[in-house]
Structure 1
Amino acid sequence: MALRRFDIEAGGDTFAFKPETEEKISFWRGKYPADKQRSAVIPLLWLAQKDNAGWLSEPAMREVANRLEMPYIRVYEVATFYTMFRLQPVGKHHVQLCGTTPCMLRGANDLKKVCESKIGKKMAVTDDGRLSWEEVECLGACVNAPMVQINDYYYEDLTPEKLEEILGKLSNGVDVAPGTFVDRINSAPEGGLTSLEDEACFDGSRNNITSIPNLPEATKSEAPPAEAAGKPDRPAPTNVDREEPEEEEIEADQDVVAKENADDDAPVASDDIEGDRPEAASVAAGEEDDLKRIKGIGPKNEDQLNELGIFKFAQIAAWTEENVKWVEGYLSFRGRIAREDWIGQAKTLAAGEETEFSKRVDAGDVPSSQEEGED
């Protein structure tokens, strides 16, 4: 940052805030505790600048320091650091011309030539004291480039001719309304809106959406039979792939698996399933294996497998890839049997050995495996 010094001679010996500014000073000081009054130094310097014809004299900074009981040097440090504070006299209408890249690309350099022609070098003040100018960094109105700030207001979408006209009026004592100087509203497109023209975008009528737009509609064959039984409606199924579960999710307790099974749609018709249906077996009552000892098979799935004639671990252990494809299609969960390794678990259990999960089931640590009446 360039060295910035305040104009000692032009500042005179005294400064006083205007009476109408006292209320604003009280407002800003009231925001801070008694022992933190120096926190109000920037707003008080800004008010002092306004009351001192647009710049900060040394007496004005000294008054701020006295009001806030601060060392003078601390106030000077703030004033000389921030370029929003001007340290030498300016005109009644001070032009801050943005020269940052967006404005430069849109013609800011041509606006500089107008200021130099009409006013003089940077920070020069016209003989009548009405105009002065400086180049500043981005003023945050890039979409309306090129632009200038005159005192507190923005003048946007300027051409050299338009800026020359504005400066001419101000130098003759004629006020000029701020804003954009092309056919647009604020930062909207020139000539009027080209998008979002539908009034429904703004009148609140679209706030009553109860479902996600553009979802594929469920066909009759996809409609879950639970609807006929008076169960709550479920969202229409989508074709979004489900994220593969983490290992910890696969190790979920059997009661969670049972809840998932209870929420599954009913098995589809056998004729519509790809693969080979596993061979069924007849087992005497009491000789069935507890298929719930296989991680991933809950009470509902066990009942469905029993309906297919699947009662023994050895049957599952003997499934082929085509059998797996058929069962997954029947139970409506593609890829789950392989992911949860039903066949590997079944082989271990059919051989009379145990898995970590079957041990938990046998110990009653899985809620869905406990006998009725147990806690």
Structure 2
Amino acid sequence: MVHTADVAALVRELAPRADPARLRRDVERLADGPRSRTRAPEAMARAEAYVTGELARAGWCTERQPFDVRLRLGSTDRRGHQALPLEFRLHPRLSGANLLARPAWGDHRGSGTASAAGGSRTVVVGAHLDTVDGSPGADDNASGVAALLEISRLLAALPRPPAVTLIVFDMEELGLIGARYAARRLRRGRQAVGMMCLESVGYFTPEPGSQQMPMGFDAAFPSVAAEVRAAGLRGDFTLVVHRRSTDAAAALWRAAAQAADPPLPCVTLRDPRPHGPLGALAGLAVPPLAHLDRSDHAAFWNVGIPALMLTGTANFRNRHYHRPTDTPDTLDYARLAAVAVATAATAVCWPERRARFGGAIRT
């Protein structure tokens, strides 16, 4: 059952608290230059410290989870306006760290430990912090991290801690390295009921013809292609990519977006593949499907955790993708705020968990 009334009510509660100016400040602080564990480690450390500080100020307990992996197949993070990172690379060794945050208020406020509400049977909301070489990555993906920070502030206004875990992933641009590590840990602990990935969610343009589609997309997803064409190929919507396991969650996010004032345009796309290795192999064989694997949610699909991706479609709309011109002044912060509100509301009302937010928000 999709709790559309619950999610709409929560959107109305949270929307006045979302602050586009604060989102812009976050993006500007994060996107002051390229950030990468391997190419720009000092900038990555500054960004990580900023994120940790903002999460703590919002009342979340953050755990830094370092990882060290060897002989991992991934991709290159060199700059370039490419449709798909098909330049595979075997990484001999990579050392990075994810940031994992859980609520630390209620009975746990001020204790320095995470509330149990963020632990077992949690909904994960994630975004990657790193960029490709040479790009400040305002849309890809300071927009996603800024939305995650805003979500942390919005959820802190709830009367009790939600069963939500926030994860800031490392090394997405090298082949979802941090997300693969996090997904395996969560799978072993059977902790995650679902996951939402914020990927390049800040660039919108209402100009007709501004939205492109991958080669073969019309044949693979005719109804979605027809919906986008009927709207004049305007790049003014958020795309929600999901699988059968997250049909209800995708519908819930769409309902949350429609409850915004003004409503946030949304297009949902169901990936027909199964979870696990078979689905990943199908993506390699069918190019239109491979585009649906282009962020950290795919690592969760591959271990069987239901997930969806929220995206502005990256290079299929944003001409600044993976370029030095991906700067904070190109983003739409009012719509980014609406994305944050819809995602926060969906995380709390996640349908498979049948959670409710429990009344008026705290003042």
TMscore range, shorter length: under 0.3
TM-score by length of 1: 0.20
TM-score by length of 2: 0.20
User: Which of structures 1 and 2 has the bigger CA Rg?
Assistant: 1
**Hey, which of these two has a bigger chunk of strand by percent?**
2
